Copies of this chain bind each other. A is one copy, B any other.
Amino acid sequence: MVRVVLCNCPPEDANRLARQLVEERLAACVNVIPGVTSFYMWDDELCEDQEHTLLIKTTEERYPELSRRLAELHPYSVPEDIALDSARVAAAYHSWVHETLSDT
C-alpha cells in the first residue's frame, strides 16, 4: 500500500518542506502544485490565500513520523495533513516507494 498525504502551505515554504521530507526519508516523493487559491473560514471570516498543494507519497510505517515532522516544520499552527490510502499500486512503483523509505 502507498499512503498519499495532502498538505497545503504558503508558496515560500513548499520546496523547503518537500525537500526536507524526502531527504529525511519520510517521503519517497513530494509533488508541489503551485498557484493554488484556498478558501476557508477562520474566526468566522472567509479567508482567501495563495498556497501550494503538496502531494506526499509515503508508507503506513513512515506516516506517524512524517506527520509529526510535518507539524514541526510547517509554519501554520494547524497544518492540513490528510492521508489517503491506495487501493492498488503498480508493483514496480510500490517496490520503489518501500525500498526508498526502508533503507534508513
Contact = CB atoms under 8 A, between A and B. Distances in A.
Contacts of A28: 40-41
Contacts of A51: 31
Contacts of A2: 82
27 contacts: A4-B6, A4-B84, A14-B37, A18-B37, A19-B39, A22-B46, A23-B41, A28-B41, A29-B80, A30-B39, A30-B40, A31-B53, A32-B37, A33-B36, A33-B53, A70-B90, A71-B90, A77-B92, A78-B93, A79-B93, A80-B90, A81-B90, A82-B88, A82-B93, A83-B87, A84-B84, A84-B87
Interface of A: 2-4, 6, 8, 14-15, 18-19, 22-23, 25, 28-41, 46, 48, 51, 53, 55, 57, 63, 67, 70-71, 77-90, 92-93, 96, 100
